[in-house]
Structure 1
Amino acid sequence: MSWQAFFCPQDYVLEPHDARQQCDLKERPEANRFDLKAPQQWIRLQVDRPDATPIDAQLSIGPFYLAGIEVYALQANEISFIGRAGAEQRASRAQLSLGAYVFPVHLKESRSTDLLVRITAPSVAHWHVTLEPMTAAHETQERQMLIALHLGMLVALALIAVIGFALRRSSVNFRLALFNVAILLTVATGSGFAALYWPQWPTDIAAMAFVTMVVLRTAIWGWLYQGLIRPHLQSQLYQIACYASYGLAAIAIALYWLDMGGWARFLTLILVLAIPILHTIAALATRGMASSLKTILVGSLLVYHALHIFALVLVTQYSGQSDAPITITRILDLAIPLLAMATVFLRNRATDQMLQEAEQALMQKQAQLDYESRLHEEKRLLIDMLGHEIKNPLAAISMASNNLQNLVVTENPSAQRRLANIKRAANDIDEVMERCNLANRLESEALTAQITNVLLKPMWQELIQESGQAERFIFAALTPVEIQADAQLVKTVARNLLENALKYGLPQKPISIELLPADLESGIQGGFAVSNDIEPNLRPDPDKLFSRYYRQEGQGSRRGTGLGLSLCRQLVELMHGSINYELTPNAIRFTVTFK
């Protein structure tokens, strides 16, 4: 027994007399190929047999989600109703099986019989027909086995994805698992498996669940690739486009449930074609993605797009005439999740490699920090030891020089000068050690401010007298200024600024010291300012002025450690104050305020 399908014209009306003459088209009418609504298409099945013996056969028409199917037998110019079925109409004389509806057909005594089939379905819905004797339904059994095998493979892929997410919880792995489950549910509902094994489900609800899963699967696929691309593409436009696709998917689902199938299928088709293009463009624009991951990402998108276009062409051109649309659909259902899983696997591998490299870099950095911490601690201990060990000899030298000055006669100026130089050198060494010790304590956070009331005027008067050059200072103290700070630390800051002005100011030029009164509006309780003239060609670098160990070039033999101004800033900030400077071509002014 063999059979051949012929299409009827679009405007065909069931008529027994001229059905064979009118329904002789070998291809689907052009108008029905691209109709996204659910047009009715009449097909004539010409059944030929080697003998005219009556036989019982079964006609299988699928898939399950076809909206409507009606079958009629045409013999001796008589039309007899065989049965009807479909997702949107009650079955009559038909039975649902896995992947198709089965109609029992009794072929009478004739070598040639015509069956007229009316199928209600959009052009993007593939349909297939098989006719075989009831006693040898091999094709039906083979079809059911292939569908069961297909579902089993999808179950295995979904389980692998779910287990992968359970072992490695991440957003991308969750999306991959959800995508695989969506594909499984799409095939389970579209093949009729759900309606067959849960008969309490109405066929129309099961079919609606299928089209809903088709849209959801497409949207979840886009969501998965967004998760792969987004970390490497910080584009607001891309994010907006992704959210727009999810919104269109929601609208398409709503249109399906509102029985506006034409518009819903149009939006679904747009999503199926546009989402891969969107993510392909985004993948090509990524930055910082591993080259292997980028290659497979773009490649999987291109393959996905090519397979879907190929499937659409086959469905619209060869539906009911070849099994090629079924084959490409099954390939799609398996290839797409496999491509997604391979892409996610490579992504996870690249991420693990990056994390491993980051951990190694962090370990190296930590080792370097530990080494620097040990050096810093050793330096601190060395400075502490030197400070304690040198203080006693320096004190002895200073005491000896004082005693010798008392013994040496005043008429010997050369000896007196040498003794004064010895004493000054000892004082300089003591000052350097004090500054190093102070810097050490600041670094180790061992120094705390002891807040008391500090009168600035007597402090500055004492420092000016100790300098030995009181005649160079212009001291402006219109009102007494009292602040709350650490008296010793404030005195250290003032002494450093004073010595800095004496050391780097122009010789014989006056040094101005001004006490600053409180400013209640800004919360300043008082401060002081130190100004001195400088040589224009020896102006300090403003960016390095408070840097540790900085000394401007061209200072010749002038002594200095480069710690003074750096210590001033740290000490002032320790007491919640601020130190600033104003630099002009011929002068510099330091201002210290306390809050």
Structure 2
Amino acid sequence: MIRLSLLLSMALAASLVHAAPSPAQPEGLVTMDVAFCVAPPDDRPLRAQTDCTLRQKPTQEGPLQAWLRIGNATSEPQRRTLVVSPYYHNTVEIYRLASGSWVLVETGGASLGGHASSASLGGHRFAFTFPAGETQVLVRIPSDPSAPKVTHFRVALEDSGNPFNKEQVLLGLHIGMLLMVCLLMLMSWAVERSVLQFRLLLLTAATLLCVLIGSGALYLLWPGASPHWWGTVIFGASIIFRIAIQGWIYDAMVRPYQKDLKYLRLTRGLYATAWIAVLAFFVNGHLLGWVLSIVLLLAVSAISAFGLHAAVDMPPRLRRILQASLAGFLFLNFGGFIGMMLTQGQNNVPVYISRLIDLGLPLGALVMTLLRNKVLEQEYQRTKETLTRQTFALESERQTRNEKRMLLDMLTHEIKNPLASINFALTTLSQSPEGQHGQTPRRLENISRSVQTIDQIIEHCNLANGIEDERIQPQMACTDLKRMFQDLLATSSQSDRLLLTVDTSFQVETDIYLLRMIVANLIDNALKYAPVNTPVHIEPFELLQASRQAWGFRISNALTPDMVPDPEQIFERYYRHPLTQELRGSGLGLSICRQICHLLGGHINYRCDEVSITFEVCFEST
């Protein structure tokens, strides 16, 4: 594909070069001196001797006029071609001084289209025969509101017999290289259909279109193309798109690291300004369009720099790459503008700078993209290695936890059997005559209570592990909430402290075993940590609203100021208040309550002050 593109570029250069078959003659025999003119303040005719003394193109508004003094050192008339470039000057007028007056002898320009005899690749060519001695010629480019405000200008005198024109060959090669770059971008986008590759393709296509129109190649390949629509409207719009797409490319690289809303608003304003400028060209507001193009160029630089500055978590190497590319972008663009303003009309340095920009922008953006992809790939590899290490560590930890869990299951199983034997022996002993005398009943009761505590801790551990392993699934059934609370209160050893407040009975859909576990843990927690002989309030509730239907319960108890729990750890596993370490318990109760609530699709909250604490459990009705 690259060889084919090179062949196409060479063929395009050869097909567009203007050649003449006449024999070459020495160039030193005909010389030319160029001076720029300042338009007279009044309506008097131009006086070249006094009005044309500038060696650099003037920056003032008005027509551009260049006074040429062409000297023929031979005694014979010499055939030469006067070349005015670049092509995009809409009107070019050639005057010769005859009998003290300027006489219009040739007219050309982009506005005449590809059918004009003077139209050629890169400029406008006018053939003249210069007699011996000095001939004065005035090249005049009338002011045109549709033309760019900052333009290049060059006038050259070439040998009409030279079969090859260096500038045209270079321009043809330039177009061919741009075409090659455009094909490469198309291939890259076809391989990787990413947003960034598509924007690079659009940038290259817009650049190629600008060059085809601005160099006149479009009109030579398509003589019927409308000079107004293509040379003014489409040309201006393509320049606007080219500038805006550069900001679009930087935005694609900066946006993943950008969280500043100000940057997002600035980029939207940039794109809106670009569309306004394009619209201005379509409605003949050319002056506004060219002014906005300068504004866009400055805005792209400023907004991209701000985006880089405000980027968060951007790899440092990627930041340096984008900063360097942005500096290069500024240097190329403003170097081209300065070169155009300081031109002396006899060199093509601004054109060479613009060609460097034409190739440098897409190629630089492509290199920047490749470097960015390399940096991101390195970041990806580092992240992948870190993730692999963490995965290995997590798997090792999971395996360790599984081994501990298996050990705990084995221990609980082995402990439950002796506990059952001890409990059976206690029951038998308490019913025997020996268990009815002295301190024996109280001691047996203490032993039984300790056995129940151990059994409860084992049950809590098994339940917590089962929920984590997803081995426990809810068995939903219709339950009478009031009756469930009454049964629990009846089996409590401190039922006189439990105050149930419920108006009516209502049915709920839940897992009765898991729900009883929540209630039992919260009641046990309240009885344990409330001041002695203080009541524990239990209040079931049901919400029947149009927007929400829910049910649940609240359990509250009094609290001393020194017993206020840590809000960060109250639902954490094994958390116990520092002042309750001597009390029985495992620290699993509230953690299990939260796990069961999540398993049943509900939630648990608490409210606490220095005198009381209330736990609220709520479930959405289905």
**Which TM-score bucket, shorter chain as reference?**
0.7 to 0.9
Residues 1:291 and 2:316 aligned together: yes
How many percent of aligned residue pairs carry the same amino acid? 30
Contact 2:339 2:349 in 1 (8 A): yes
Gaps (5+ residues) in structure 2? 1-29
Structure-1 separation of matches of 2:615 and 2:258? 49
Structure-1 separation of matches of 2:282 and 2:469? 71
SS, match of residue 161 in structure 2: helix
Contact 2:39 2:51 in 1 (8 A): no
Q: How far has the Cα of 1:29 moved from its partner?
A: 7.1
Structure-1 separation of matches of 2:106 and 2:376? 58
> Closer, same or farther in 2 for the Cα pair 1:101/1:536, shift >3 Å?
closer
Deviates more, 1:297-306 or 1:557-566: 297-306
Contact 2:37 2:54 in 1 (8 A): no
Structure-1 separation of matches of 2:551 and 2:100? 115
- Provide the alpha-carbon RMSD of the alignment: 3.5
* Structure 1 segment 479-498 matched on structure 2, within 5 A: 481=505, 483-484=507-508, 485-498=510-523
Q: How far has the Cα of 1:56 moved from its partner?
A: 2.2
Instruction: Deviation per CA, 1:340-379: give whole Å up to 9, x if none.
Output: 2332222222222233333333333433443344344444
Structure-2 separation of matches of 1:583 and 1:47? 101
* Structure 1 segment 316-355 matched on structure 2, within 5 A: 316-355=341-380
Residues 1:170 and 2:199 aligned together: no
Q: How far has the Cα of 1:459 moved from its partner?
A: 5.7
> Closer, same or farther in 2 for the Cα pair 1:96/1:405, shift >3 Å?
same
Q: TM-score, normalised by structure 2?
A: 0.82
* Structure 1 segment 185-196 matched on structure 2, within 5 A: 185-196=209-220
Residues 1:235 and 2:260 aligned together: yes
Equivalent residue letter for 1:142: K
Contact 1:57 1:132 in 2 (8 A): yes
Q: How far has the Cα of 1:457 moved from its partner?
A: 5.2
Contact 1:528 1:591 in 2 (8 A): yes
Structure-2 separation of matches of 1:2 and 1:218? 40
Contact 2:56 2:345 in 1 (8 A): no
SS, match of residue 341 in structure 1: helix
Equivalent residue letter for 1:224: I
> Closer, same or farther in 2 for the Cα pair 1:403/1:198, shift >3 Å?
same
> Closer, same or farther in 2 for the Cα pair 1:465/1:80, shift >3 Å?
closer
SS, match of residue 102 in structure 1: strand
Structure-1 separation of matches of 2:595 and 2:134? 106
Deviates more, 1:422-431 or 1:556-565: 422-431
Equivalent residue letter for 2:32: W
Deviates more, 1:577-586 or 1:149-158: 577-586
Deviates more, 1:208-217 or 1:181-190: 208-217
Q: How far has the Cα of 1:66 moved from its partner?
A: 0.7
Match of 1:200 among 224, 244, 251: 224
Match of 1:153 among 168, 177, 192: 177
Contact 1:280 1:302 in 2 (8 A): no
Contact 1:179 1:220 in 2 (8 A): yes
Structure-1 separation of matches of 2:374 and 2:134? 63
Structure-2 separation of matches of 1:593 and 1:8? 90
Q: How far has the Cα of 1:403 moved from its partner?
A: 2.7
Aligned length: 582
* Structure 1 segment 229-378 matched on structure 2, within 5 A: 229-378=254-403
Residues 1:134 and 2:163 aligned together: no
> Closer, same or farther in 2 for the Cα pair 1:266/1:542, shift >3 Å?
closer
Match of 1:101 among 124, 127, 130: 124
2:39 equivalent in structure 1: 10
Q: How far has the Cα of 1:588 moved from its partner?
A: 4.4
> Closer, same or farther in 2 for the Cα pair 1:52/1:9, shift >3 Å?
farther
Residues 1:71 and 2:94 aligned together: yes
Instruction: Deviation per CA, 1:57-83: give whole Å up to 9, x if none.
Output: 222222211111122344666866542
Contact 1:63 1:190 in 2 (8 A): yes
> Closer, same or farther in 2 for the Cα pair 1:25/1:291, shift >3 Å?
same
* Structure 1 segment 116-127 matched on structure 2, within 5 A: 116-120=138-142, 124-127=150-153
> Closer, same or farther in 2 for the Cα pair 1:147/1:12, shift >3 Å?
farther
Instruction: Deviation per CA, 1:402-425: give whole Å up to 9, x if none.
Output: 333444535753555554444333
Contact 2:57 2:341 in 1 (8 A): no
Q: How far has the Cα of 1:495 moved from its partner?
A: 3.5
Deviates more, 1:181-190 or 1:564-573: 564-573
Equivalent residue letter for 2:71: D
> Closer, same or farther in 2 for the Cα pair 1:327/1:565, shift >3 Å?
closer
Q: How far has the Cα of 1:513 moved from its partner?
A: 5.0
Contact 1:57 1:131 in 2 (8 A): yes
1:561 equivalent in structure 2: 586
> Closer, same or farther in 2 for the Cα pair 1:182/1:319, shift >3 Å?
farther
Structure-2 separation of matches of 1:106 and 1:14? 31
Equivalent residue letter for 1:178: L
> Closer, same or farther in 2 for the Cα pair 1:34/1:272, shift >3 Å?
farther
Contact 1:82 1:105 in 2 (8 A): no
Match of 1:113 among 108, 123, 135: 135
Q: How far has the Cα of 1:427 moved from its partner?
A: 2.6
> Closer, same or farther in 2 for the Cα pair 1:283/1:466, shift >3 Å?
closer
Structure-1 separation of matches of 2:278 and 2:503? 82
Q: How far has the Cα of 1:196 moved from its partner?
A: 0.8
Q: How far has the Cα of 1:234 moved from its partner?
A: 3.0
Structure-1 separation of matches of 2:612 and 2:268? 62
* Structure 1 segment 504-523 matched on structure 2, within 5 A: 504-507=529-532, 509-512=533-536, 514=538, 516=540, 520=544, 523=549
Gaps (5+ residues) in structure 1? none
Equivalent residue letter for 1:215: I
Q: How far has the Cα of 1:190 moved from its partner?
A: 0.9
Structure-1 separation of matches of 2:42 and 2:114? 22
2:4 equivalent in structure 1: none
Residues 1:225 and 2:225 aligned together: no
> Closer, same or farther in 2 for the Cα pair 1:536/1:120, shift >3 Å?
closer
SS, match of residue 194 in structure 1: helix
Contact 1:408 1:415 in 2 (8 A): no
Q: TM-score, normalised by structure 1?
A: 0.85
Match of 1:25 among 22, 29, 53: 53
2:85 equivalent in structure 1: 62
Structure-1 separation of matches of 2:269 and 2:82? 44
Structure-1 separation of matches of 2:278 and 2:220? 24
> Closer, same or farther in 2 for the Cα pair 1:561/1:331, shift >3 Å?
same
Instruction: Deviation per CA, 1:127-175: give whole Å up to 9, x if none.
Output: 222223322365xx11111101212222233333333333333222221
Structure-1 separation of matches of 2:503 and 2:229? 92
Structure-1 separation of matches of 2:241 and 2:484? 83
> Closer, same or farther in 2 for the Cα pair 1:506/1:278, shift >3 Å?
closer
If asked which structure has higher relative contact order (CA below 8 Å, sep 6+), I would say 2
Equivalent residue letter for 1:343: M
